[in-house]
């Protein structure tokens, strides 16, 4: 049953009051006077990140210094945080590490997947048009590095399942599309890949913390994702990498750094990969950023992701309802799928002057973002976004459109991509 | 003229009082009762890192949130910090970026170097025995990735200049050896590489902030280094990567992430490398860690690296002198080169029970570290280490050796590599 859409601001107040997630809002730092609808780009800061990082700096680095690699658990951080992410994406302990960036982790896993499949005469990376740019760039470069018959095959998203030929080594899909918010069928596409002998690699950047994800139940092979969107780990917080236990021993990373060695501090001359997922670590991880991220992940302990999803869908229904009722006459269209089950935790709105509109909204304290060519993204982050926030934001969008204040000369009336 | 070695603790006090770098010590957090001689592993924390990171969290992330990518200069951070590192290693603006880890950066540059040389029938990575493990691991894996005739040639360090055959694509040398402290001739080996048509790639992990480095004057081609040792950037702080301006347009990174794109936020489907050194960026950099690092780099502004080097050599002479006079009878030998010009900013001491000795010293508040099989490293960091520190530390080493307290059963009397 689709959620009932509140028809008044008063309805929204009541929904916020009865919201089982309401208490989380106070755990975040939100600028007064701002409605933050861009947590799908950068999550808001958990207040605990400030105290956690201060403690890490003063006590662990400032006093413990090098000894803190052992005494403060820095050495285990990639694995410890990995397991905390793992609980949110249906991974078992020992299947996830936090390290590097999504781009670097994707590079490592794509090369590992091609190597794994090399003996099986499979050398195609199958992915979809409109995938997140860095995924496409990395994939293109991986086949250049791999040489031989390696190739990228890009197809329309809806053609993925039908394009799984006998030459496909690995399917690379971003679970929730960054522009449209479209959510792929993780279990279904994984099964389709397996049925044809391909591995399935999922980019979960817009999924973890936004929608329920169960890699284990889907039998997914590999995954990457960032931690700075719905997980609230901080700008550029280290990313994560998932490799199913059953595959780990047969996978090897092309970037053989000392943290991926079976015995980092033996300083041996030759490389022996660590037995588990740690073999995908490379260099020393950035501990200060990891401290902020760990505070954010700890906040997720005890959060009911189904409650998050329920509220996300209700917030999205409000956006869609208001867009249809009040914004459509001003040329706004709903660009995301209308079916909640096909949508992550964002609603994308199309408008010819979306860029200027985004700027004008920022001036009015509504933070959302623009994606080329004409998309305004409304990110919905149920831990700290309420119904009144969304109601008020949509009112402001309508005002700006009515007053045509987005045509303010400061921003130019022509569509201008930055 | 070699520095005069102080003969008494009183001499050391006088040297500390007249030390032109003395004022820097107060800028660091040092645990009371501890003598920290491990800044070559993890530099001490600049107090300014605490305030800088707190500001970054509360104001930039906590209030500005996603807008801070522009308003707080996060987008430019890799380049801005790169230029700050560049001033310490003789690079020009636009030749250095701060990003990823040393291992990942080395991977990118080695692949780029092999590609650059591919048309010239050069495919050998020439490096030396005893190079830092991660450098060897990365090099071995790069040739596996590159395939074809790519190979690693490892020779004794003293044979590097004579091993520069016509098949050598790139010379990979760690400027200051992590175990011995031996410092290679950066200008001389670079010239030898160039004379034979090879590129020179320098690992500066133990050099930047420790000894004067002038990549520009040497005509060096490529370099990598970490920022968490002598630069005091914090545990796992992002590393840096140098590519000489003249080569940048001909080099390409194998990890084509969106931050290395000429126009990151145009979200184009195909990759176009950024025109400058930014083409070696991959994913989103960890901003919280970069904030701590920037505070550390700002502290280096105005530091006279020649003064640092002078004090470093004087501190080293004290270690060597005391080791010869007082520790040799207990089986300690000086493992580092005795010639100051051939040594970075550490003195390595050999002892059959170096591991236990290191542990026993830690119990007594002297922090240095152990490297297999039998090396105790004494790191000298002139910004915050004084002559009295070193004098007292050497007294404690002597006491521990005299009392044989390193044979304490808690640590085991047998040499045990962790």
Choice among A100, A203, A221, A374 that is catalytic? A203
Give the closest residue to B261 by CA, choosing from B270, B274, B252.
B274
Q: How far is CA B144 from CA A145, B111, B203, B270, in A?
A: 11, 11, 21, 27
Nearest beta carbon to residue B104 from set A42, A64, A282: A282
Helix axes of B287-300 and B77-89: crossing angle, nearest 10 degrees: 30
Report the sign of the C-alpha dihedral through residues B311, B317, B319, B325, in that order. negative
Chain B positions touching A49 (Cβ under 8 A) are 57, 61
Please name the member of B57, B269, B367 whose beta carbon is closest to the beta carbon of A133: B269
Q: How far is A410 from chain B (nearest CA, A)?
A: 17
CB contact under 8 A, A65 and B45: yes
Q: What is the pLDDT of residue B398?
A: 97
Angle between helices A387-403 and A9-17 (to 10 degrees): 150
Our measurement of the distance from residue A334's CA atom to the centroid of its chain's CA atoms, rounded to an integer in Å, reads 22
Q: Which member of A136, A255, A290 has the closest CB to residue B103?
A: A255
CA distance B395 to B361: 11
* Section A96-104 average pLDDT: 98
B60, two tokens: 């930039």
Question: Which pLDDT tens digit goes with each residue over B150-178?
Answer: 999 999 999 999 999 999 999 999 999 99
At B40, list the tokens: 């070559």
Say whether A367 and B67 touch across the interface (CB within 8 A).
yes
Active site annotation includes B228: yes
Token output for A22 = 């309401």
The answer to whether the CB atoms of A133 and B265 lie below 8 A apart is no
Give the chain B residue whose CA is nearest to the CA of A42: B66
pLDDT of amino acid A3: 61
Q: Out of A377, A384, A387, A389, which one is annotated catalytic? A: A377
Q: Catalytic annotation on B182? A: no
> Does position A269 have pLDDT exceeding 90, yes or no?
no
Between the alpha carbon of residue B93 and those of residues B86, B216, B304, the distances in Å are 7, 11, 19
Q: Is the per-residue pLDDT at B135 higher than 70?
A: yes
Q: How far is B217 from chain A (nearest CA, A)?
A: 29
CB A387 within 8 A of CB A393: no
User: Which among B38, B135, B177, B203 is annotated as catalytic?
Assistant: B203
Residues of B in contact with A265 (CB under 8 A): 418
Q: What percentage of chain A exceeds 70 in pLDDT? A: 97
* Contact at CB, B256 and A140, closer than 8 angstroms: yes
> Is residue B2 over pLDDT 90?
no
- Sign of the torsion angle spanned by Cα atoms B58, B64, B70, B75: positive
Q: Which residues of A touch B58 (CB under 8 A)?
A: 29, 50
Query: What pTM, to 2 d.p., does this model score?
Result: 0.96
For residue B369, the chain A residues in CB contact (below 8 A) are: 66
Read off the pLDDT of residues B36-92 as tens digits, 9 standing for 90 and up.
999 999 999 999 999 999 999 999 999 999 999 999 999 999 999 999 999 999 999
Active-site residue flag, A122: no
Q: Is A65–B54 a contact, with Cβ atoms under 8 angstroms apart?
A: no
Inter-chain touch B235–A68, beta carbons under 8 Å = yes
How many Å apart are CA B349 and CA B413, to the nearest integer? 19
User: What mean pLDDT is predicted for residues B389-402?
Assistant: 97
> Over pLDDT 70: what percentage of chain B?
97
User: A158: left (phi > 0), else alpha (psi -120 to 50), else beta?
Assistant: alpha
**Which residues are within 8 A (CB) of B22 and not within 5 positions of it... i.e. 6 or more apart?**
B16, B386
| DSSP letters for A184-247 | --HHHHHHHHHHTT-EEEEE-TTTTTTS---HHHHT--EEEE-SSSTT---TT---EEEE-HHH
The 10s digit of each residue's pLDDT in B183-207 is 999 999 999 999 999 999 999 999 9
A103 and B255 within 8 Å at the Cβ level: the answer is yes
Residue of B nearest to A49 (CA): B57
Exposure b/e, A65-86, CB count within 10 A at least 16 = b: bbbbbeebebbebbbbbbbbbb
| Average of per-residue pLDDT across A45-63 | 98
Residue B406 confidence (pLDDT): 85
Mean pLDDT of chain A: 95
Catalytic-residue membership of B229: yes
Residue with tokens 């009051």: A17
Q: Distance between CA atoms of B10 and B15, rounded to whole angstroms?
A: 9
Of A178, A228, A370, A411, the catalytic one is A228
Measure CB to CB from residue A235 to each of B49, B61, B261 and give the nearest one: B61
* Paired sense of beta strands B222-225 and B240-243, if any: antiparallel
**CA proximity to B115, closest of B107, B127, B126, B104:** B107
Q: Going by DSSP bridges, is the β-strand pair B366-367/B35-36 parallel, antiparallel, or unpaired?
A: parallel
Which residue in B229, B279, B322, B343 is the catalytic one? B229
Q: pLDDT by residue (tens digit) across B261-307? A: 999 888 998 999 999 999 999 999 999 999 999 999 999 999 999 99
From the list A368, A407, A395, A281, the residue with the least C-alpha distance to A38 is: A368
Distance from CA of B4 to the nearest CA of A (A): 31
pLDDT in the model for residue A2: 55
How far does B117 lie from chain A, in Å, by closest CA? 15
Q: Is the pLDDT of residue A65 over 60?
A: yes
Minimum distance, in Å, between the CA of residue B39 and any CA atom of chain A: 8
Helix (DSSP H) and strand (DSSP E) numbers for chain A = 13, 15
CB contact under 8 A, A63 and B29: yes
Q: Are B330 and B399 in contact (CB under 8 A)?
A: no
Q: What does the pLDDT look like over A200-233, one tens digit per residue?
A: 999 999 999 999 999 999 999 999 999 999 999 9
Do B289 and A286 lie within an 8 Å CB cutoff? yes
Which of the following is catalytic: A107, A132, A335, A384? A132
CB contact under 8 A, B362 and A140: no
Which among A145, A261, A265 has CB closest to B145? Answer: A145
Measured between beta carbons, the chain B residues lying within 8 angstroms of A111 are 145
Confidence of residue A406 (pLDDT cuts 50, 70, 90): confident
Measure CA B128 to chain center: 17
Q: Encode pLDDT of A283-337 as tens digits.
A: 999 999 999 999 999 999 999 999 999 999 999 999 999 999 999 999 999 999 9
Chain B residues whose CB is inside 8 A of the A237 CB are: 286, 288
Cβ contact (<8 Å) for A287 and B372? Answer: no
B189's CB contacts (< 8 A; 6+ apart) are: B160, B161, B171, B173, B200
Taking residue B102's Cβ as centre, other Cβ atoms within 10 Å add up to: 28
Question: What average pLDDT does range A352-373 have in this prediction?
Answer: 95
Does B287 sit within 8 Å of A42, measured CB to CB? no
Mean pLDDT for the stretch of residues A117-121: 92
Please identify which residue in the block is written with the tokens 């950047």: A205
Complex prediction ipTM = 0.96
């Amino acid at each position: 049953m689709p959620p009932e859409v509140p028809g008044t601001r008063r309805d929204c107040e009541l929904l916020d009051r009865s919201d089982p997630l309401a208490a989380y809002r106070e755990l975040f730092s939100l600028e007064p006077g701002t409605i933050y609808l861009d947590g799908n780009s950068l999550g808001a800061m958990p207040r605990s990140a400030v105290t956690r990082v201060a403690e890490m700096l003063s006590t662990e680095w400032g006093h413990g210094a090098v000894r803190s690699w052992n005494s403060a658990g820095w050495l285990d951080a990639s694995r410890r945080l990995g397991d905390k992410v793992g609980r949110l994406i249906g991974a078992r302990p020992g299947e996830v590490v936090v390290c590097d960036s999504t781009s670097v982790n994707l590079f490592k896993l794509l090369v590992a997947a091609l190597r794994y499949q090399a003996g099986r005469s499979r050398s195609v990376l199958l992915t979809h048009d409109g995938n997140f740019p860095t995924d496409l760039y990395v994939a293109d470069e991986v086949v250049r590095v791999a040489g031989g018959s390696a190739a990228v095959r890009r197809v329309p998203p809806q053609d993925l399942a039908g394009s799984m030929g006998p030459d496909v080594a690995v399917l690379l899909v971003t679970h929730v599309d960054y522009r449209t918010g479209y959510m792929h069928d993780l279990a279904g596409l994984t099964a389709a890949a397996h049925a044809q002998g391909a591995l399935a690699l999922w980019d979960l950047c817009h999924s973890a913390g936004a929608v329920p994800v169960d890699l284990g139940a889907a039998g997914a092979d590999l995954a990457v994702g960032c931690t700075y969107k719905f997980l609230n780990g901080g700008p550029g917080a280290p990313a994560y990498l998932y490799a199913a236990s059953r595959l780990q021993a047969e996978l090897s990373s092309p970037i053989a750094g000392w943290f991926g060695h079976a015995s980092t501090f033996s300083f041996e001359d030759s490389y022996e990969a660590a037995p588990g997922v740690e073999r995908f670590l490379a260099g020393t991880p950035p501990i200060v950023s990891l401290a902020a991220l760990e505070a954010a992940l700890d906040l997720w302990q005890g959060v009911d992701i189904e409650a998050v999803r329920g509220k996300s869908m209700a917030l999205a229904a409000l956006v869609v309802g208001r867009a249809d009722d009040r914004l459509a006459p001003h040329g706004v269209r709903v660009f995301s799928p209308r079916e909640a089950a096909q949508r992550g935790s964002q609603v994308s709105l199309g408008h010819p002057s979306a860029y200027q509109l985004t700027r004008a909204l920022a001036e009015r304290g509504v933070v959302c973002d623009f994606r080329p060519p004409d998309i305004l993204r409304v990110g919905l982050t149920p831990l700290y976004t309420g119904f009144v926030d969304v109601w008020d934001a949509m009112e402001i969008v309508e005002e700006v459109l009515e007053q045509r204040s987005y045509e303010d000369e400061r921003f130019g009336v022509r569509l201008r991509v930055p």
